[in-house]
């Protein structure tokens, strides 16, 4: 049974992607009417507000725009800036840091931190799960019928949506692959999300703990052969290592760009071309450095009746995260691969800023 609040939050996610207004309510703060800047246009903006509306930005983006003092910058929360743009294009230039070089002149702005406003914080979470920039046209909600948002949810509904995701095995089939002709693919589905996660079981299952790789989807690396990351080579090396072991399981998690989505990952690439590393690029976009949800991997292993694993990763944090989901990691297996001139800085950032043991 899906929680009613989770249904409301799912409808709000859909509305944001479509460029429709959403109202978020929360105990302890005013309700907010929101229109995602990325998915809206001048027409929907005019419908949303007759005057230039305020803009709600993530705390991280506010830091890059110098809208916070040093104390607030250490722990930034969402910031509301007052009537800064009269057109969608002008607002988008404020929202997207990848456009800063093309549109360097911004402000001065009149801004106000939202403090611990739960509705503003919930808006940032919704944006990330919708795959959108965390930036909104915003107005304080009123009872005026003409200003009623298309959908409405509560901040607690968003938490219910994330907590209620229950994966189920939807289909499975034999799938010979280049690393091993003895392989089976298992697809997992949850009612709350459109993306299906998959597991590829390599070899014949026996009583020994399998070699497991948690691999986050990377279209650019896995499919297109990008040299900017090591995802594609890691994927194929892991499959061949599993083929050499008694058996193994690749969990292919549909969490592109460490959980920020494909479009935002490409925006991060544009920021890297401007000189920022992967960590700084994510923060400038208004996202956490690590936004993936490893509870999905824990559920997949549970459905496969796997409780003990040998985890193939260079990231000790990944060991800790999957153990929090009730999985015992008996061994961490490193995955060492050569670098190239395009991904040397990327791998150095993983080593120096996110604790990867390379």
Q: Could you give the CA distance from residue 149 to residue 125 in angstroms, rounded to a whole number? A: 19
Q: Is 249 helix (H, G, I), strand (E, B) or coil?
A: strand
Min mean pLDDT across 162-171, 304-313, 346-355 is at 346-355
Mean pLDDT of 167-171: 92
Torsion angles phi and psi, residue 119, rounded to 5: -65, -40
- What digits encode the pLDDT tens for the residues 41-85? 999 998 888 788 899 999 888 888 888 765 555 567 888 988 787
Q: What is the pLDDT of residue 143?
A: 62
**How do residues 213-226 score in pLDDT, each as one tens digit?**
999 999 999 999 99
pLDDT value at position 150?
67
Q: How many CB atoms lie within 10 A of CB 99?
A: 15
Q: Which residue did the predictor score with more confidence, 338 or 356? A: 338
* Nearest CA-CA partner of 327 in 301, 353, 303: 301
- Read off the pLDDT of each residue in 321-332 and give the average, rounded to a whole number: 94
Q: Count Cβ atoms below 10 Å from residue 280 Cβ, excluding itself.
A: 18
Is-contact 250 199, C-beta < 8 A? yes
pLDDT value at 334 more than 60:
yes
Residue 194 burial (10 A CB sphere; 0-12, 13-18, 19+):
exposed
Q: What integer is the mean pLDDT of 130-148?
A: 78
Confidence of residue 146 (pLDDT cuts 50, 70, 90): very low
Do 277 and 353 form a contact (C-beta atoms < 8 A)? Answer: yes
Domain architecture of the chain: domains with CATH: 4-162 (3.90.870.10), 165-255+292-353 (3.40.50.10990)
- Reported confidence tier of residue 145, pLDDT bands at 50, 70, 90: very low
Specify the DSSP element, H or E, that contains 253: strand 247-253
Residue 192's pLDDT band (boundaries 50, 70, 90)?
Answer: low
- pLDDT mean over 262-284: 89
CA distance 205 to 98: 47
| In contact, 88 and 45? CB cutoff 8 Å | yes
At residue 169, the 3 state secondary structure works out as strand
Q: Which residue has the higher pLDDT, 104 or 92?
A: 92
Evaluate whether 124 touches 58 at the Cβ level (below 8 Å). Answer: yes
Task: Let me know: does 137 contact 45? Beta carbons within 8 Å.
Answer: yes
Q: Does residue 358 contact residue 350 with C-beta atoms inside 8 Å?
A: yes
Q: Using CA atoms, how far apart are residues 160 and 175, in angstroms rounded to an integer?
A: 36
Predicted TM-score of the model (pTM): 0.83
What confidence tier does 354 reach under pLDDT thresholds 50, 70, 90? Answer: low
Residue 38 CA to residue 44 CA, distance in Å, equals 12
Low-confidence winner among 37-41, 179-183, 318-322, 345-349 (lowest mean pLDDT): 345-349
- Give the whole-angstrom CA distance, residue 161 versus residue 26: 15
Q: Around Cβ 66, how many Cβ atoms within 10 Å?
A: 13
Average pLDDT in the chain: 86
What whole-number percentage of the chain has pLDDT above 90? Answer: 42
Helix (H, G, I), strand (E, B) or coil at 241: helix
Question: What pLDDT shows up at residue 299?
Answer: 93
pLDDT for res 164 = 54
pLDDT at 98: 87
Burial class (CB in 10 A: 0-12, 13-18, 19+), 336: exposed
Q: Which residue has the higher pLDDT, 51 or 32?
A: 32
The set of residues, in sequence order, having a beta carbon less than 8 Å from that of 13 and lying 6+ positions away, is 126, 129, 130, 161
Q: Which of 207, 209, 210, 259 is nearest to 239 (CA)?
A: 210
Task: End-to-end CA distance of the chain: give it in Å, rounded.
Answer: 44
Residue 20 has pLDDT above 80, yes or no: yes
- Other C-beta atoms closer than 10 Å to the C-beta of 189 total 16
Q: Is the pLDDT of residue 126 over 60?
A: yes
Q: What percent of the chain has pLDDT over 70?
A: 90
């Amino acid at each position: 049974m899906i929680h009613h609040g989770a249904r409301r939050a799912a409808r709000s996610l859909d509305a944001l992607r479509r460029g429709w207004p959403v109202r978020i309510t929360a105990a302890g703060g005013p309700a907010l009417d929101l229109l995602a800047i990325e998915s809206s246009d001048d027409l929907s903006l005019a419908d949303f507000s007759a005057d230039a509306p305020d803009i709600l930005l993530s705390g991280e983006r506010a830091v890059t725009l110098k809208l916070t003092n040093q104390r607030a910058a250490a722990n930034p929360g969402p910031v509301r800036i007052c009537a800064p743009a009269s057109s969608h294009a002008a607002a988008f230039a404020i929202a997207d840091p990848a456009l800063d070089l093309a549109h360097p002149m911004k402000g001065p702005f009149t801004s106000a931190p939202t403090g611990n406003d739960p509705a503003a914080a919930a808006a940032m979470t919704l944006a990330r799960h919708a795959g959108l920039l965390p930036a909104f046209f915003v107005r304080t909600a009123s009872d005026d019928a003409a200003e009623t948002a298309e959908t409405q949810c509560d901040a607690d509904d968003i938490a219910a949506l994330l907590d209620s995701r229950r994966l189920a095995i939807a289909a499975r089939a034999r799938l010979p692959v280049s690393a091993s002709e003895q392989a089976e693919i298992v697809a997992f589905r949850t009612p709350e999300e459109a993306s299906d996660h998959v597991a590829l079981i390599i070899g014949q299952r026996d009583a020994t703990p399998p070699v497991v790789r948690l691999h986050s989807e990377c279209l650019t690396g896995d499919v297109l052969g990008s040299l900017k990351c090591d995802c594609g080579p890691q994927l194929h090396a892991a499959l061949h290592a599993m083929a050499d072991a008694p058996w193994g399981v690749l969990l292919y998690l549909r969490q592109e760009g460490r959980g920020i989505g494909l479009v935002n990952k490409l925006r991060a690439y544009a920021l890297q071309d401007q000189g920022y590393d992967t960590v700084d690029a994510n923060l400038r976009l208004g996202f956490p450095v690590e936004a993936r949800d490893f509870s999905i991997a824990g559920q997949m292993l549970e459905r496969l009746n796997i409780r003990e694993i040998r985890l193939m990763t260079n990231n000790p944090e990944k060991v800790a995260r999957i153990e929090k989901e009730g999985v015992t990691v008996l061994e961490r297996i490193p995955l060492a691969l050569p670098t190239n001139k395009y991904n040397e800085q990327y791998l150095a950032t993983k080593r120096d800023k996110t604790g990867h043991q390379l």
